[in-house]
Chains A and B, each alone.
Chain A
């Protein structure tokens, strides 16, 4: 974990290169060492496979006047060495995940990334992650989108392209990793958990000795006073609206303090900035944008413009608090950015990853056969009902639609749209009451019917199958009145 070395007046950060075996971690470090002009320490290897780690130490750059000392390590990729890998990852401030671009490595990439993601998120201040898509020169390299999918929805993580064998993209990735680590340093500092202590290890040999001691059964103190959290078993360019007169939500170069959340927010902005953005203003003075890939949407309301950065920053902090309090009811992959509008003003932007919404699930319904279609439709019905209670009745948002409700990883409905600017403190989650349910039922049925009618227009032959599925599911769930409404609505189309 990051610390201030009081003797040398340096900020010490640790970057760990992670990824599946033979993805190019050691090669990346070797190339980085060559590029930075430093030596690399390699703990014993076996047949060219890393058993412990590689290490390089580099002092460069400045953080608030203090030189930055980067301890850069690679973790072993073999699954049998998982405990060593975990120990190293727990101590990281940022991780460069070296992903293998070959299609046959998709599964290994996904498994390794899932474990890393769990560790990174388990910390109070999450560890920043940048994905280095490696081996991009191979003819069968998968696309970046496919690679991202293989990593299981790592949409809010920055991704760079590299050919580590040739050193291409390695240094750029490293510097982005340092930025993420410094974001974490700032967050630790504001939390009061950035400690002033000498580094726990001065070089790779010390770390190796310590790991060997630990594995021989003797406990080790990894970082007195600042132990790694939950050590576990082992211990584009600017978002590019081409019209120069338009405000822009900035890119990953946004200065620290102007993006929330501190670490993932920059990664979200970095990813969103990979696409061109179609930005449009409306009569009210608000701006809305959609990335060309459809992955990201952004919004800045008319009230979110400020004459100076300080007022903008105050609003950003208030807005960040609101989001933090409401986070369990909001979709993931969000960032709030304060960016210059190009007219001497500043604007707050919400950037939101396009989640799979209930509207998307509705589209699946007409392609399913019989009972499965009915079951899925009733699942959507129930989630939409819960969404009205959790999001609208509770006062979190004024209104929802099928395309602004997504399903969280816990299976609960979350708001996937842009939040209303100027909202006060988010109200506590409400379980709602029966009256509210009754009030919203007609809206729910109306929205569902509208969606189903639109989808059935393309495949009208699916209607009878869908009706049968609805009847079967309704009977099983004891919701015949809902089935009757839906049936009537579909037949009266």
Chain B
């Protein structure tokens, strides 16, 4: 597991690459606790968002099992009217949660940046 400051440094690199960056966190899937956070908006409740997104991931895992699939969940994209939220699994037990402004960001850049800087965090 990378150190908190290393994770934050990775998020800062993501922030510099992703236009419309709002916030990012590395989340422990089991507890929904954040292992590291980086936010550009003080009013964005990143801890709450991270926790509830852990439930989404767990439910998706249940769905995969219920369907009898042997597939591995890689990422989840949530499209809001004004934001894009990307959930990228990192190992089996954690995920990166990245929120960006939909009007200014680019999904391909989000994915590429998270893949580039986030995959080595566990």
A: residues with CB less than 8 A from B are 35, 59-63, 65, 67-68, 167-172, 174-175, 178-179, 182, 238, 250-256, 308-309, 344
Residues of B within 8 A of A65 (CB): 55
20 A-B residue pairings within 8 Å (CB atoms): A60-B51, A62-B31, A62-B55, A167-B4, A168-B5, A170-B4, A171-B35, A172-B1, A172-B3, A175-B31, A178-B31, A179-B28, A251-B93, A253-B29, A253-B30, A253-B92, A253-B94, A254-B92, A256-B30, A344-B70
Instruction: Report the bound CA distance from A179 to B93 in whole Å.
Output: 11
Q: Which of B4, B33, B55 touches A68 (beta carbons < 8 Å)? A: B33
Which residue on A lies nearest to B94, using beta carbons?
Answer: A253
A309 touches B65 (CB 8 A): yes
Q: Which of B31, B52, B70, B94 touches A63 (beta carbons < 8 Å)? A: B31
Taking the complex as formed, is B34 at the interface, i.e. its CB lies under 8 A from any CB of chain A? Answer: yes
Q: Which of A175, A250, A253, A254 touches B33 (beta carbons < 8 Å)? A: A175
Say yes or no: A175-B54 contact (C-beta < 8 A), given A253-B91, A253-B92.
Answer: no
Taking the complex as formed, is B47 at the interface, i.e. its CB lies under 8 A from any CB of chain A? Answer: yes
B: residues with CB less than 8 A from A are 1, 3-5, 28-36, 47, 50-52, 54-55, 65, 68, 70, 91-94
Residues of B within 8 A of A251 (CB): 92-93
Whole-angstrom distance between the Cβ of B2 and the nearest chain A Cβ: 9
Say yes or no: A60-B70 contact (C-beta < 8 A), given A68-B33, A251-B92.
Answer: no
B31 touches A67 (CB 8 A): no
Instruction: Report the bound CA distance from A174 to B36 in whole Å.
Output: 12
Say yes or no: A178-B33 contact (C-beta < 8 A), given A167-B4, A168-B4.
Answer: yes
Other A-B contacts than A168-B5, A171-B35, A175-B35, 4 sampled, CB-CB below 8 A, are A62-B54, A63-B32, A179-B28, A253-B30
B35 touches A172 (CB 8 A): yes
Instruction: Report the bound CA distance from A254 to B55 in whole Å.
Output: 16
Say yes or no: A67-B51 contact (C-beta < 8 A), given A167-B4, A171-B35, A251-B92.
Answer: yes
Q: Which of A35, A59, A172, A179 touches B30 (beta carbons < 8 Å)? A: A179
Residues of B within 8 A of A61 (CB): 28, 31-34, 50-51, 54
Residues of A within 8 A of B35 (CB): 171-172, 175
Instruction: Report the bound CA distance from A253 to B32 in whole Å.
Output: 13
